[in-house]
Amino acid sequence: MSKKIIASFTVSRLEILDEQGRTDAELMPDLTDDDLVRLYELMLLTRQFDQRALHLQREGRLGTYPSVLGQEASQVGSAYALQNSDWLFPAFRELGVFVTLGYPLAEIYQYWNGDERGLLCPEQLNIFPICIAVGTHIPHAVGAAMAARYRGDPIATACYFGDGGTSKGDFHEGLNMAGVFQAPVVFIIQNNQWAISISRNHQTAAETLAQKAIAYGIPGIQVDGNDVLAVYQATREALQRARSGGGPSLIECETYRMADHTTADDAARYRDPEEVQRWQRRDPLLRMRRFLADRGLWDDARQQQLETEIDARLDRAVAREEATPPARARDIFAYTWTEMTPRQKRQLQQLRDLRELDHG
């Protein structure tokens, strides 16, 4: 008889760029100056798009909207590592990912204005529809990854969800299956500390979310989610491993939801304003801007110019969105099945009968 340690595990955390904009040269990812500037530009675009969306919602020009304020690095950094052939399975608070992949801005506004046609993914991108239901898309991402593996496609799938999503049964099932079948999927947790009004401490007793990977026999890592370089590096490694047959990975991006859960929420009712202030100092854009300025890649003039350019771009996107004619009721039938079922045909006829009332 004996009792002995049969296995022990460690959890790593990756930080490359600190709050002052200093970097660890040894850990620096292989990125050109253009890439570094591009990362910052994408984060700024995300932030300004986000701010505009909040204004539009308050003006009655957009539906309920979930702000990504504070999570720009976690989203832009991870998406920057994706290739067009990879598949994206988003939750719903991934604006920065969409922006980075080059999704048309007008269509993002269109979707948040309640028009599902905004989710019609452009040909060159591989993006599944936004998934509002928490965590239900995790098994889908695993399934798509398994399919890619059977077909021998050298791609990976990237699945985004929040800290709240890790408490779902789908998370367990998805990660377990991905581990067993070595599916080429990268699970990217946007740990923004709050699942609506449930804090991270009330979400799980586990010290990190990254360590959940251990139970499924897959690599897991925590990264400073407000450090765009660390997020990029960790995601890039995980994606390369997946594409080359190395199986799935879990990445916990530790970040913070600076805004309310959505425009229909008031976070001041349940969270300490001091906590928000603490995270303010860790702003992902601020540190990247400092870093670029130190390298001579950025200055105030460029900042101002870019802000103006982005504003003009957003103006055009909003104008395009607002000029789009609304969907017609009958479109529901056109987009559900390739061919309508008898029941749907009856329903379409009923709709037409009702419409006849309009014409008297």
Partner 1 sequence: MKESLFEFILPDLGEGVVEAEIRAWHVAVGERVKEHQSALEVETDKAVVDVPVPRAGIIRTLNHEVGDRVPVGSVLLTIATGEFEADSVPAPAAGAVVSPVRKSHGIVGVLPEAPSAGPPEGPVTEAPVVSGEKKAVPLRALPRVRALAKARGVALETLRGSGPDGRITEEDVLTAAGAEPSGDAGDSGRRVPLAGLRRRIAEHLLEAQRRTAFVTTMAETDVTRLWTLKARQRDELAGRGVKLTLLPFFMKATQHALAEFPRLNARVDEAAGEIELLAECHLGVAVDSREGLLVPVVRDVGTKSVVDLAIELQQLAEQAESRSLSREQLQGSTFTLTNFGGFGGSFATPVINYPNVAILGFGGISEKPWVVEGEIVIRRILPLSLTFDHRVLDGAEATRFLVRVGQFLEDPGLLFIESV
The residues annotated as belonging to the active site are: 257, 261, 270
Residue with tokens 């039938």: 333
Query: Does the protein bind partner 1 through residue 355 (CB under 8 A)?
Result: yes
| Interface size with partner 1, residues (CB under 8 A) | 29
Report whether 193 contacts 256 (CB < 8 A).
yes
Q: Decide if residue 360 touches partner 1 (CB under 8 A).
A: yes
CB 135 within 8 A of CB 114: no
- Token pair for residue 248? 């799935």
Q: How far is the CB of 293 from partner 1 (least distance, A)?
A: 28
> Which of 158, 353, 150 is CA-nearest to residue 248?
158
Query: How would you classify the pairing of strands 87-89 and 249-254?
Result: unpaired
Q: How far apart are CA 207 and CA 211, in angstroms?
A: 8
Binding partner 1 by CB under 8 A: which of 52, 149, 236, 287?
A: 52
Strand partners, 109: none
Under the binding rule (CB under 8 A), the answer on residue 312 touching partner 1 is no
Neighbours of 182 (CB within 10 A): 17
Binding of partner 1 by 115 (CB under 8 A): no
Residue where the block lists tokens 């948040």: 112
**Contact with partner 1 (CB under 8 A) among 94, 227, 237, 260:** 260
Among 27, 33, 58, 295, binds partner 1 (CB under 8 A): 58
Residue 261 near partner 1 by CB under 8 A: no
In the block, residue with structure tokens 């939801």? 257
In the complex with partner 1, the residue whose CB is nearer, 199 or 347, is 347
By C-alpha distance, which of 62, 20, 80 is closest to 234? 80
Binding mask 314-353 for partner 1 (x = CB under 8 A): --------xx-xx-x-x-------------------xx--
Work out how close the CB of 210 gets to partner 1 at its nearest, in angstroms, rounded to a whole number.
Answer: 33
**Interacting residue with partner 1 among 22, 55, 345, 346 (CB under 8 A):** 55
Nearer to partner 1, 63 or 219 (CB): 63
Helix (H, G, I), strand (E, B) or coil at 275: helix
Asked whether the beta carbons of 67 and 251 are under 8 A apart, the reply is no
Using rule CB under 8 A, residue 354 touches partner 1: yes
Residue 358 sits in the site that holds partner 1 (CB under 8 A): yes
Report whether 186 contacts 159 (CB < 8 A).
yes
Does 273 sit near partner 1 (CB under 8 A)? no
Place of tokens 């988003």: 90
| Minimum CB distance to partner 1, residue 46 (Å) | 18
Residue ranges that bind partner 1, judged by CB under 8 A = 52, 55-61, 64, 260, 263-266, 268, 322-323, 325-326, 328, 330, 350-351, 354-355, 357-360
